[in-house]
Amino acid sequence: MKQHSFEAQHESTWASIEESLQQPSKGSNGRVLAEHYMLLCQHLAIAKERLYDAALVERLNNLVLGLYRELYRYRSETRLNLFAFFKRDFPLAIYRHRFFILAALLVFVLPGLLAGAWTYFDDEALYTMVDAQQVREVERMYDPEARVLGREREADTDIYMFGFYIKNNISIAFRCFAGGILAGIGTLLVLFFNGMFIGGIAGHLTRLDYVDTFYPFVVGHGAFELTAIVFSGAAGLRLGYAIISPGPFSRLDSLRLAGRDVVPMIYGIVLMLVIAAFVEAFWSSSTLLSTQTKYATGACLWALVLLYSFSGRRHEPR
Amino acid sequence: MLDTRYRVEIPGGIHLEAQVVGPIPRCFAFAIDLLIRGLLMFVLWLSALPFGLFGVGGGFLMILLFALEWFYPVLFEVLWRGQTPGKRILGIAVINDDLTPVTLGTSMVRNLLRTVDFLPLFYLAGLVTMLSNRRFQRLGDLAAGTLVISLREAARAAPVGEVQPLAPPTALLRIEQTSIIDFLQRSPQLSVPRQQELAGILEGITHARGEDGVTQLHRIGAWFLGVR
C-alpha cells in the first residue's frame, strides 16, 4: 500500500485520537484507550516497516507516545494506600535499610555523645561549636525561670511554632537525604553536625542543671524527630552506597535502583516529622503538663517508635 | 554523535522515540516557575498579615512556604502529567525513563535532590551533570530515573503540491524510494542549486539534468508516495 492511500484510510482515526489526547481530562475510557493504543502501535510498525516518510512516522510515534502516557497514568503505585503503607511497606523499607540505619545512627549518636560529654565537663566547650548568640538563646529557652518552653515565643501561639518546626526540621531531613547523592558525604556531614549540636546543647544544659525543663520538653517529639533524621540519613547513605559500590550494575543503574528503593523511606520520614512537629508544638511545649506525664508519654512514644521500627522483618518475603 | 532522540522498546512490541530536552528550555521553564512561586509567596504573605506574622498567620505561612519550596514541582508533575506551569508553557514534560508518566515516588526523589543540583550556586552541579550525559539528566533525574522530553509537535511535511506522478524507469529498493520521497518533501527547504546538485546524482535514472532533473525526481517521488 502506498503511503497516500494508507494516510487517506486512517486520517480520520488519527485526527480524532489527536483531538481526544488534547483534552485528556475527560476521564478516558480504558477499553477505547487500549484499542487505540494497539491500533496505533500497529500503524506505527507498518509505517516503519514500509519506510513511509519521516514526518508520518514521527506523527504516529507522537500519537503512540501520547496514548502510552495516558494508558500508564493509573498505576497501583500512584495510589498510595496509607493503611498498607503503615502496616507493611514502611516497616519493610526500614528492615531493608537496617545496615544503613545502623551506620547513620553511629554517625549521628557518637559525635553527639562525645560533644555532650565535652560540654558537660567544660563550660566553654559549646562556644566552639555554636556562636555565643545562639548559646544565650538556647540557655534562655530552657531557663527554669522562664514561663514558656522551647523557642522564645513572641506571640504565644502553638500554630506558629508548628509551622516553624515543619519548615526547619523537615528541610534538615530532606537535605540530609539529598546529600547522599554526593557519594554519601553530604549525608554524613549533616548527620555528624546535627548530632554534635544536639549532643553539645544537651550536655551544656545538663551542666547548667536545666534538666527539668530540657529533657521533658524533648523526650516526646524526639522519638519521632531523632528517629526520622536517622532514617533520612539511612536513605541518603543508601544512595551514596549505590554509587560507591554498584555491585553487578552500572553506577547509573545502581543509583536509579536505589532511588526507587528509598521512596517508602521518604514518605515515612515526612509523616514522622509532621507528627514530631505536632507533638513539639502542641504537647512538648505545654507548661500545664507535669514533668512526670511528659516522661511517661515520652517513654511510651519511644517504645512505640522502636517497636514499630523493628516490626518489618516478618514482611520480608522468603 | 549529537542526537537528542531517546528510544525505548515498549510493550506494544515497537520502539518508541522521544526528544529529550536540554538545559536552555529547562532554565526558562524554571524561571517561569520561580516567578509564579514568588508571586504566590507574596500573595500568601499578604493574606497572612491580618492574622499576625508571629501568630496563626505566620504559622500557616511557614507551612505553606515550606510546601511551596519542596512540593510545588511534585504536586504539578504528578497531577499535570509531568508538567509544572513553566514546563507547560515551554511544551516540555518530565517522564520516567520507560516513557511512562512520573509517579509520586519518582517525582519526590527528583525534586528532593534539587538541593544538591543547586550546589554550589545556581544549579551548577545540575548543569554540569546534565551536560555530561546524553539524556540531559541532572542528579535528581539520574537517581529518580526520569528525563525531560519535548511534547512539541514537529512540523508536518508540507503537502505535495501539483506534481504529476511518473513511474520510475527502473526498479528501486525501498530505501532508495524513501530517499526520493524525502527529497520531494524537503525540497522547499533546499536552495535551487542544491536541489539540482542532488538531483544530478541520479542523472543515470532520470536522464535529465538541471531543473528538468529536479522535476523528474519530484514526479517519481510523488509516484512512490501514491499520488494518482
ipTM confidence: 0.80
Selected residue with higher pLDDT from A282 and B141: B141
Per-residue pLDDT, A147 = 57
* Residue owning grid cell 555491585: A247
Q: How far is B112 from chain A, CA to nearest CA, in Å?
A: 6
Selected residue with higher pLDDT from B152 and A287: B152
Whether residue A159 and residue B60 make contact (CB cut-off 8 A), yes or no, is: yes
Number of neighbouring beta carbons within 10 Å of residue A90? 24
Per-residue pLDDT, A148 = 57
Tell me the sheet residues that pair with B15. B9
Tell me the sheet residues that pair with B147. B95
Per-residue pLDDT, A186 = 92
Q: Enumerate residues 6+ apart whose C-beta is below 8 A from A206.
A: A116, A120, A214
Selected residue with higher pLDDT from A281 and B151: B151
Q: How far is A131 from chain B, CA to nearest CA, in Å?
A: 24
Whether residue B143 and residue A177 make contact (CB cut-off 8 A), yes or no, is: no
How confident is the prediction for chain B on average, in pLDDT?
84
Summarize the confidence of residues B6-29 as an average pLDDT.
87
Domain-by-domain residue ranges, chain A? 3-74, 82-315
Question: Would an 8 Å CB–CB cutoff place A177 in contact with chain B?
Answer: yes
CA atoms of B1 and A279, how far apart (whole Å)? 57
Taking CA atoms, what residue in B is nearest to A277?
A: B63
Verdict on whether the full-model pTM lies above 0.90: no
Closest CB from A3, A78, A175 relative to B225: A3
User: Which residue of A38, A68, A79, A241 is the best one to mutate when testing the B interface, meaning the one whose CB has the most B CBs within 10 A?
Assistant: A68
Number of neighbouring beta carbons within 10 Å of residue B20? 20
**What's the pLDDT tens digit per position in B91-131?**
899 998 888 888 888 899 999 998 888 888 888 888 898 88
Per-residue pLDDT, A302 = 92
Q: How many CB pairs under 8 A join A and B?
A: 178
List chain A residues with pLDDT less than 70: 24-28, 74-80, 146-157
Summarize the confidence of residues B194-212 as an average pLDDT.
82
Per-residue pLDDT, A155 = 47
- Terminal-to-terminal C-alpha distance of chain A: 55
Per-residue pLDDT, A94 = 92
Q: How far is A9 from chain B, CA to nearest CA, in Å?
A: 13
Per-residue pLDDT, A154 = 47
Per-residue pLDDT, A233 = 94
pLDDT at B59 > cutoff 80:
no
Whether residue A259 and residue B109 make contact (CB cut-off 8 A), yes or no, is: yes
Number of neighbouring beta carbons within 10 Å of residue B98? 13
pLDDT at B216 > cutoff 50:
yes
CA atoms of A176 and A189, how far apart (whole Å)? 8
pLDDT at B54 > cutoff 80:
no
Per-residue b/e over B194-225, b at no fewer than 16 CB within 10 Å?
ebbebbeebeebbebeeeebbbbbbbbbbbbb
Per-residue pLDDT, B87 = 92
Contact B86, B31 (CB under 8 A): yes
Number of neighbouring beta carbons within 10 Å of residue A129? 18
Per-residue pLDDT, A51 = 79
Selected residue with higher pLDDT from B218 and A232: A232
Number of neighbouring beta carbons within 10 Å of residue B37? 18
CA atoms of A287 and A293, how far apart (whole Å)? 11
Q: How far is B141 from chain A, CA to nearest CA, in Å?
A: 9
pLDDT at B36 > cutoff 90:
yes
